């Protein structure tokens, strides 16, 4: 159910002849929906809490009702989950469904489901300079592989390679690779995590819930009383109130993200740049530019000469996933 190609740009035009298209971006926390009445026109954006709906199709129906029950025939969904075959069972939420059964229940002619970072990757070539915030130096080389990484409820990883005159996405579950500590402090965090998880993936630490685990680990390592702070509280107390354990938590998170991004860059040969999505980094604001992220990204031993040349960008577009899924559906319908 995945399409693998997209144009690098789309022209805004008249209405689609077959009616408005439904676009959806499904994460572990929120389900975002939009309508695309014509190419490049993304409208009626709404965010619904995923926990409020028992089934994926319940959330779709609720959105369509809010949007006035438009005559949708074609829909595309990106989801924070592997997409292999017809059966979907979410990793970070309790929704499970058959794509074909959902299509029939919703009455659509087309329902495409793709991984969320496949969608975000496909959006990257279409982003404008105003949609990006460069962190550190480096210059992207044209038509070279691109890496995409983002921390939210989980850790998403994707990529793009150029072939046959178009961009091809690389489906990935790279967020589940083993966490790689870079110093003694991170080793101590790893050892703390091993008390709960036999396999401590990068996602367990480089994510919103990961911020919370790092904070708990630091308190335990340093002998402080336990605290159960949410990610947003850690960011506020660390950056606004000067709380030392919270500030160190944020610094470790940014360093660990730098490791993940650099490993991805070297694995893919991402001379076209590394692009950072997800909901966590934007909440760090301007601090992210001053954080240890870029220094850690460049610190790759003998390969530092390579990573120093690779630019890293934060994606600042409001709804980049919709740009990607729109292109995927358009290409799917043309195939």
Q: Tens digit of pLDDT for each residue in 191-218?
A: 999 999 999 999 999 999 999 999 999 9
46 and 74 co-located in one domain: yes
- Residue 237 is assigned to a structural domain of this protein: yes
135 and 251 co-located in one domain: yes
CA distance 331 to 29: 28
pLDDT of the residue at 165: 87
Q: What ranges make up the beta strands (E) of 30-163?
A: 30-38, 41-49, 74-79, 87-89, 96-98, 110-115, 132-135, 146-151, 155-163
C-beta separation of 24 from 110 below 8 A: no
155 and 278 co-located in one domain: yes
CA distance 171 to 121: 9
pLDDT of the residue at 40: 86
103 and 50 co-located in one domain: yes
141 and 265 co-located in one domain: yes
**Burial category of 105 from C-beta neighbours within 10 Å (exposed 0-12, middle 13-18, buried 19 and up):** middle
Kindly report the pTM of this predicted structure: 0.88
CATH number at residue 105: 3.30.420.40
pLDDT of the residue at 4: 27
pLDDT of the residue at 215: 98
118 and 135 co-located in one domain: no
Task: Say how many domains are in the chain.
Answer: 2
- Residue 231 is assigned to a structural domain of this protein: yes
Domain span at 250: 128-316
- Which stretches of the chain score pLDDT less than 70? 1-13
- Those residues with Cβ within 8 angstroms of residue 244's Cβ, 6 or more apart along the chain or in another chain: none
Q: What ranges make up the beta strands (E) of the chain?
A: 21-26, 30-38, 41-49, 74-79, 87-89, 96-98, 110-115, 132-135, 146-151, 155-163, 166-170, 274-277, 312-315
118 and 132 co-located in one domain: no
């Amino acid at each position: 159910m995945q399409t693998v190609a997209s144009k690098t740009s789309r022209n805004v035009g008249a209405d689609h002849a077959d009616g408005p298209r439904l676009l959806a971006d499904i994460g572990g926390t929120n389900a975002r929906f939009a309508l695309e009445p014509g190419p490049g026109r993304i409208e009626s954006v709404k965010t619904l809490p995923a926990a409020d709906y028992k089934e994926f199709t319940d959330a779709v129906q609720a959105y369509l009702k809010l949007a006035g029950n438009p005559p949708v025939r074609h829909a595309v969904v990106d989801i924070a989950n592997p997409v292999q075959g017809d059966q979907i069972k979410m990793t970070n939420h309790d929704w499970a469904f058959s794509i074909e059964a959902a299509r029939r229940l919703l009455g659509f002619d087309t329902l495409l489901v793709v991984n969320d970072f496949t969608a975000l990757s496909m959006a990257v070539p279409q982003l404008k300079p105003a949609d990006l915030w460069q962190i550190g130096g480096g210059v992207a080389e044209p038509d070279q592989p691109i890496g995409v990484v983002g921390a939210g409820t989980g850790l998403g990883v994707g990529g793009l390679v150029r072939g046959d005159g178009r961009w091809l996405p690389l489906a990935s579950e790279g967020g589940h690779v083993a966490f790689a500590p870079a110093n003694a402090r991170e080793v101590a965090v790893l050892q703390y995590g091993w008390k709960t998880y036999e396999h401590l993936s990068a996602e367990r630490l480089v994510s919103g819930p990961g911020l919370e685990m790092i904070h708990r680990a630091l308190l335990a390592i340093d002998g402080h009383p336990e605290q159960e702070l949410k990610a947003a509280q850690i960011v506020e107390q660390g950056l606004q109130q000067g709380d030392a354990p919270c500030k160190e938590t944020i610094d470790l998170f940014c360093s660990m993200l730098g490791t993940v991004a650099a490993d991805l860059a070297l694995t893919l040969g991402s001379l076209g740049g590394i692009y950072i999505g997800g909901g966590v980094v934007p909440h760090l604001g301007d601090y992210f530019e001053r954080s240890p992220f870029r220094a850690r990204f460049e610190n790759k031993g003998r390969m530092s000469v390579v990573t120093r040349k690779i630019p890293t960008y934060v994606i600042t577009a409001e709804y980049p996933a919709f740009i990607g899924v729109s292109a995927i559906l358009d290409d799917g319908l043309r195939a």
